[in-house]
Every structure is written in structure tokens, then in C-alpha cells.
Amino acid sequence: MARSVQNLYCAGMPRPREFDENHVLLAIRDEFWDKGYAATTTDDLLRVSGLGKGSLYGAFGDKRSLFLRVLRDYDDANLLMLRERLASAARGIDVVREFVLGLTGDPTGAVARRGCLLANSNGELAASTPDVAAEARRTYDAIATVLTAALERAQGEGDLDPGVDPSEAARAALVAQLGLIALGRTGMDIGALTAMARSALARLLPAPAQ
Amino acid sequence: MARSVQNLYCAGMPRPREFDENHVLLAIRDEFWDKGYAATTTDDLLRVSGLGKGSLYGAFGDKRSLFLRVLRDYDDANLLMLRERLASAARGIDVVREFVLGLTGDPTGAVARRGCLLANSNGELAASTPDVAAEARRTYDAIATVLTAALERAQGEGDLDPGVDPSEAARAALVAQLGLIALGRTGMDIGALTAMARSALARLLPAPAQ
DNA sequence: TCCATTGTGGCCCGTTCGGTCCAGAACTTG
DNA sequence: CAAGTTCTGGACCGAACGGGCCACAATGGA
């Protein structure tokens, strides 16, 4: 049962990994993103990662663990990107506008049809996998916090009506983005989607009365 | 191959069905709603319907056809309900308010966590099943049309700022509702969700300036 | 050079999936 | 009552699923 203690100070060195973990995780993320959790088979994961079963299971555990890992990485990366945008943005309001308009940037509509991995996963799995729902709550709350900071800055910069509560408006922007993601998934005309996003932004983020 | 013609005028009458089709369809709808498409097994469907495999497949075809049937029935019923509400509502604006606040009506949050069958299905299957995406487009477009009519009435009744474009505001209300559905699925606090819904409504449906 | 250790990939297994099929039951008509 | 038709439910099937397992490769220290 227990390994002998002598192994602790007299161990051979293991064979190093032959694959790049980040590269594999991104390929797997794309597969889950395109197909959804249930529709992605283990064979799909092996194919896009180029690994064998032993390697994949040895490195990341089973399908569910791998999915949660990928989802958390995705969320963390997006949050980091949002915070960096706020840090480097010329104006706070630009961050919120870009956040809401995000999916409309691609004129082919492919990005809109693909949606957001977190939103898609939450829709598919929230009922059966509490971990996914909790992850979504955590992420959306963090996003709302960043957007609130952006709108507070926007008020100081004269881009947002001072009568607006930044926290409420930030949450309204989040709601709008999630609604646009849902509509984008239906494959509706990208021009109409863009118009809706702009119209919603105009209502939610009123400029100060001159 | 071809059946003889004499059967046409000399046929015995078949054994009648032993189940109520509507009752079965509602039970199956609830199962798909609670678990999602992929996570619902044929055994689940047999269990909740109380039928055997022969009956279920004979009456509705395979799992996919059955799901599409249930989804279309669900959409049609909701559209009909929305139109009837508009026809019988005291004020047009009430219809839109109820539409956006819909999921927040249950203080336990169970309704919000369950979400909307169409929104859930669209999130899970839009990428792989064009029929579902098309159904979602059709339904959301029809909803927007009804909401537009409701807001036009609201302007005539003095409940909505005449400067607001009813069609744009209706689509914004739809976006907001879809965003709230997505957030509700995360299981977030129902009070916070309600506050967000009310705050979004106040921004999207401004009363006329007195 | 040999050993200890971990990476590697594919073979293999039990389970469960969606779906078909069939033998008998129920029922109306002649 | 006999015939013809559909309904019913469960036995059955091939396929694909997720996952365990193992023989071998690669590596660096002793």
C-alpha cells in the first residue's frame, strides 16, 4: 500500500510532457464552445487536442473536471481583459459601450451566433450542475463591479448623467449584454442586433443634460 | 407492397388511444424544461408520460421530433397568452411591465432558476439544430410585434413618453427580459434580480414629462 | 548502464443511449 | 362471432458513451 520512504530521496525524474497545456486547453475550450458540453464527446476532445486518453485523463481528470477547468480559465481571462481595458481606456464609458456592443463587432454574425461560453454553459447546465451556476454568479458579479467602476469614472469624465446610479446602470448594461447574447444565438440579422444594442445603450447610459 | 383497395371501404376500426395527448405533452415539456434536451433520456420521457416505447414513438416520432413539437406548442401557447393579455389589459404598458417582470413573480426563485424553455433550448441547441434557432427567431419576432402594439397603446394612454419609438422600446424590453432570464438561471438572489428588472424598466419605459 | 518515475496512446470494458420490432390486447364493423 | 386495424409495452439491438487499464517510451539521477 504505502510507498517506501526511501523513494523520497532517491527518485528518478519523470518523463516530461510532450504537449503545451495552454494550447490544448484553448483547443478544448473552442470545442466545448462550438458544440456545448453534452454534445462534445471524449473522442472530439482527443481529436482536437491531439492527445491520447491516458494523457488527457492523467492531466485534467474526467470530462466534467476538464470542462469546469476550461470554463474557469475562460471567465478569468475575460475578467482580466475587462479590467485591463478599464485601466487603459481613454474614457470609462468606452469600456461599457464596448462590453455591450462586443458581439456586434463581427459583420458576418459568426461571433454573435457562437455567443459566450459562460452564457451558453449556464443555459445548458445551470439546472443540473450547481458548480456552473455558482461560477456564473461569481463572474457576473465581478463583471458588474468592474462596469460600476467604469461608470463612476464616466460620470467624473462628464460622459454619464450624474443622476444615474452607476451600480444600477452597470447591472442594466450586463442584463442588456446577456439579452443580446441570447438573441445573437438565434442567428438573427446582425444589423438588427447592432441596432438594438445601440438603442439599448442610448437609453441605459444617458449623457449629462447640457 | 400496395395495400388492396378493398380495405378502404371495409376496414375495421382501430383500438382507441388510452392516453390524453395534451397531458402527456405537458409532462414531457416539463421534463425537457427541467433537464434540458441532451440530459433527458428516453427512459425519462417514458417515466413521466407513463407510456411504453411503442406508444410514444408511434404517436410522436423520435426524441428530436417530440422535442420540437413540445417547443413549438410552448411558444404558441405563450404567444397566445401574451396577445390575450394585451386584449384584456387595462393599460398597454402593464403588458410590457408584466412581460419583463415575469420571472420575478415567484419569491422562492424557483421560477427564475427554471428560466424559459425557449431560451434554455436556444442556448443549448441553436448551434447544432437550426430548427431551434429558427423557431427562436420566429417567436422573438412575434413577441416584439405584440410588445410594440402594447407600447403604441401605452403612448395613446399617456403611460409612455411620446418621444420613444415603440418598436425600439419593445425590442429593448425583449432584450432585457432575455438578460434577466439568463441571470435568473444562475440562481442569484431573487430580490436583486427583481431590483434589476424594475430599474431596467424605469430606464426603458420613461413616463411622459408632465 | 540501470533504475525509478511519469508521460503516452490505444485497447478494452461495462453502461446507457436512442430506436426498432413483435406478440398480444382492445376495439369497431360486418 | 370473426376479421381487420391500431394501440400497447417490453424485449431486444447496434452504436457510442465515459472511463479504466496496461505495455511501452522517455527522461535524469545513481
- pLDDT tens for each residue of A135-147: 999 999 999 999 9
Q: Is the pLDDT score of A3 beyond 50?
A: no
Q: Higher model confidence: residue B124 or residue A9?
A: B124
Say if CB B123 and CB B154 are below 8 A apart. no
The answer to whether the CB atoms of A183 and B196 lie below 8 A apart is no
Decide: A152 and A92 in contact? Cβ < 8 Å: yes
Low-confidence ranges of chain B (pLDDT < 50): 1-9
The separation between CA B182 and the C-alpha centre of its own chain, rounded to angstroms, equals 14
Q: Quote the number of domains for chain B.
A: 2
Are A119 and B168 inside 8 Å of each other by CB? no
> Which of B7, B33, B61 is the last residue before a domain boundary?
B61
Are A110 and A45 in the same domain? no
Residue A177 forms part of a structural domain: yes
Last residue of a domain, one of B61, B87, B112: B61
Let me know if residue A198 belongs to a domain.
yes
User: Same domain for A102 and A31?
Assistant: no
Q: How far is the CA of A90 from the C1' of C12 (A)?
A: 60
Q: What is the pLDDT of residue A20?
A: 81
pLDDT score, position B17: 72
The whole-number average pLDDT for the span A163-188 is 98
Whether B13 is in a domain gets the answer no
> CATH number of the domain that A56 lies in?
1.10.10.60
Task: Establish whether the CB of B12 is closer than 7 Å to any nucleic acid atom in strand D.
Answer: yes
Q: Are residues B52 and B114 in the same domain?
A: no
**pLDDT, tens digit, 9 for 90 and up, residues A21-57:** 888 899 999 999 999 999 999 999 999 998 888 888 8
Give yes or no: residues B110 and B193 share one domain: yes
Whether A176 maps to a domain, the answer reads: yes
Nucleotide D3's nearest residue (CA vs C1') is B12
Domain around A192: 70-210
B20-26 — which CB contacts under 8 Å span 24+ positions? B21/B59, B24/B49, B24/B50, B24/B51, B24/B59, B25/B69, B25/B70, B25/B73
Among A56-60, A169-173, B192-196, name the one with the lowest average pLDDT: A56-60
Per-residue pLDDT at A58:
83
Whole-number pLDDT of residue B94: 98
- Window 34-73 of A: residues touching B by CB (8 A cutoff) are 34-36, 38-39
Which pLDDT belongs to residue B4? 34
What pLDDT score does B71 carry?
97
Residue ending a domain, among A33, A61, A89, is: A61
> Among all strands, which nt has the closest C1' to B56 (CA)?
D8
Q: Determine, for residues A176 and B171 on separate chains, whether the beta-carbon distance falls below 8 Å.
A: no
As a rounded value in angstroms, the CA-to-C1' distance for B17 and D1 is 24
Is residue B178 within 8 angstroms of chain A, CB to CB? yes
B77 and B123 in a single domain? The answer is: yes
B92 CB within 8 Å of a chain A CB: no
Q: Which residues contact A135 (CB under 8 A, 6 or more apart)?
A: A68, A71, A72, A75, A118
D27 C1' – A36 CA distance, angstroms?
38
User: SS in 3 state form for A125-181?
Assistant: HCCCCHHHHHHHHHHHHHHHHHHHHHHHHHHHCCCCCCCCCHHHHHHHHHHHHHHHH
Q: CA at A109, C1' at D9: how many angstroms apart? A: 48
Same structural domain for residues A101 and A172?
yes
* CATH code at position B112: 1.10.357.10
What is the four-CA torsion angle of B120, B123, B127, B131, rounded to 10 degrees?
30
- Tell me, yes or no, whether A88 lies in a domain: yes
Q: What is the DSSP letter of B19?
A: S
Average pLDDT of the segment spanning A58-63: 87
Report whether pLDDT(A133) > 70: yes
Mean pLDDT calculated for residue range A198-203: 96
Res A186: pLDDT = 97
pLDDT of residue B113: 96
Q: Which residues touch strand C (CB under 7 A)?
A: A 3, 7, 10-19, 51-55, 58-59; B 10, 12-16, 40-43, 53-54, 57, 62-64
The answer to whether residue B3 is domain-embedded is no
- For residue B175, give the nearest of A36, A127, A180 by CB distance: A180
Tell me what percent of the residues of chain A surpass a pLDDT of 70. Answer: 91
Are both A128 and A167 inside the same structural domain?
yes
* Cβ–Cβ gap A179/B183 under 8 Å: no
Q: Do B127 and A203 touch (CB under 8 A)?
A: no
- Judge if B55 and B81 occupy the same domain: no
Closest residue (CA) to C1' of nucleotide C3 is A12
Query: How far, in Å, CA of A170 to CA of A143, rounded?
Result: 9
Mean pLDDT, rounded, for A54-71: 89
What is the band of A11 on the pLDDT scale with cuts at 50, 70, 90?
low
Residues B206 and B143 in one domain: yes
What are the grid coordinates assigned to A167, written together? 451600480
Say what the pLDDT of residue A209 is.
Answer: 86
Query: Are A183 and A151 contained in the same domain?
Result: yes
Question: What pLDDT, on the 0 to 100 scale, is given for residue A14?
Answer: 65
Asked if residue B146 lies in contact with residue B79, where contact means CB atoms within 8 angstroms, the answer is yes
Closest to B115 in 3D by CA, of B33, B192, B191? B33
Assess whether B11 (CB) lies less than 7 A from strand D. yes
Q: What is the pLDDT of residues B163-183, one digit of tens each?
A: 999 999 999 999 999 999 999
Residue A191's pLDDT band (cuts 50, 70, 90): very high
Please say whether the beta carbons of A95 and A89 come within 8 A. yes
Q: What's residue A16's pLDDT?
A: 64
Is residue A83, in this structure, part of any structural domain at all? Answer: yes
User: B207 and B105 in one domain?
Assistant: yes
Give the angle B199-A167-A111 at the CA atoms, nearest 5°: 85
Confidence of residue A2 (pLDDT cuts 50, 70, 90): very low
Q: Is residue A30 part of a domain?
A: yes
**Same domain for A122 and A53:** no
Distance CA B92, CA B160 (A): 10
**Tens of pLDDT, residues A86-120:** 999 999 999 999 999 999 999 999 999 999 999 99
Q: Which residues of A touch B109 (CB under 8 A)?
A: none
- Chain A CB contacts of B113 under 8 Å are 126-127
